[in-house]
Amino acid sequence: GDLDNLKANSELASWVASIMMIGALFAGLIGGYLVDRIGRRNTMLALAPAFV
């Protein structure tokens, strides 16, 4: 598949998954703070460009 072209091994995949989970933790904390401060709609509008 496509992963064969990346020359990734299971250790690298494990690191990527761990870093994503840590990032999700911090994103949830920051997102919750922003929702409390500026509201749901404004938070979505502020963060939407990062996903485009």
Q: For residue 9, is it within any domain? A: no
Q: For residue 35, is it within any domain? A: yes
For position 27, what pLDDT does the model report?
94
The total number of structural domains in the chain stands at 1
| CA neighbor of 34 nearest in space, from 22, 47, 24, 23 | 47
pLDDT at 41 over 80: yes
Q: For residue 50, is it within any domain? A: yes
For position 3, what pLDDT does the model report?
60
Q: Which residue has the tokens 């870093």?
A: 19
Q: What six digits make up the tokens of 52?
A: 């485009």
pLDDT in tens, 3-40: 666 666 888 889 999 999 999 999 999 999 999 999 99
For position 4, what pLDDT does the model report?
64
Q: What is the C-alpha to C-alpha distance for residues 36 and 41, in angstroms, rounded to an integer? A: 11
For position 1, what pLDDT does the model report?
56
Q: For residue 42, is it within any domain? A: yes
Q: For residue 43, is it within any domain? A: yes
Contacts of 46 (CB under 8 A, 6+ apart): 34, 38
Q: For residue 7, is it within any domain? A: no
Distance of CA 49 to the CA centre of its chain: 14
Q: For residue 4, is it within any domain? A: no
Q: For residue 15, is it within any domain? A: no
Domain carrying residue 31: 24-52
